[in-house]
Amino acid sequence: MSIKSNLLAIQSSLPSHVTLVAVSKTKPVVDLMEAYDAGQRIFGENKIQEMSEKWEEMPKDIQWHMIGHVQTNKVKYMAEYVSLIHGVDSLKLLQEIDKQAQKHNRVINCLLQVYIAEEESKFGLDEKELEEILDSAEFKSLKNVEVVGLMGMATFTDNKVQIEKEFKHLKSLFDKFSIYNSQFTTLSMGMSGDYKMAIDCGSTMVRIGSSIFGGRN
């Protein structure tokens, strides 16, 4: 199977309200260009340096999504061009994104990452922390960031019942916070192994890597 045929098969299986982020981390530019030539314009990367190198080399109508954990001191390297930052997990990081976005006279869209898995290693906020950030005066004063929704990763397991429970939990938080955050439009959940379940649970954005580009080392 080619990258193009993988991409087109997945793209045509998605409902029209679901956006596909092609997760291209570790893959060479030739592979991304194959997806680009097949019509893909949204790519997800998890390292800022790698994403910036690809941004410089590739066509400028691509939307670059940062899906990895972001260190505050590295925001400046992507502030000029990044189109959505999925993994925001603190007010401090939002404040830094705001500051760097201001330097480029733009508003950077972000998703707050919610901790829904059972694994210790995953990043993210719990419900209370989410509420504290969204309710804070500091957050409300930020002019150059817009929080447009939530992102989460389910536990890495074959247990479908557990994955479904975690996705439904994230969807319920999304619905709850959408009520008084009218800019909430995006619920980023689902990867190669679980995106169909994620869509059934209310995802509006799936992040798919290996099913498009093949396995990573």
Ligand X SMILES: *Cc1c(COP(=O)(O)O)cnc(C)c1O
The residue ranges that bind ligand X (CB under 6 A) are: 23, 25, 46, 67-68, 153, 191-193, 207-211
Minimum separation from the CB atom of position 141 to ligand X (A) = 29
Chain residue at closest Cβ approach to ligand X? 209
Rounded Cα distance, 212 and 26, in Å: 13
Q: Which residue has the tokens 């972000």?
A: 110
| Closest CB to ligand X among residues 83, 144 | 83
Say how far residue 67 (Cα) sits from the centre of its chain.
5
**Which residues are CB-contacts of 175 (< 8 A; sequence separation ≥ 6)?**
none
In the complex with ligand X, the residue whose CB is nearer, 130 or 142, is: 130
The nearest distance, CB 36 to ligand X, in angstroms, is 18
End-to-end CA separation in angstroms for the chain: 19
Residue placing its CB nearer to ligand X in the complex, 72 or 192: 192
Least distance between ligand X and beta carbon 213 (Å): 8
Cα three-residue angle 180-93-116, rounded to 5 degrees: 60
> Is residue 109 a contact partner of residue 94, using CB atoms and an 8 Å limit?
no
Q: Which is nearer to ligand X, 20 or 133 (CB)?
A: 20
Shortest distance (Å) from residue 87 CB to ligand X: 7
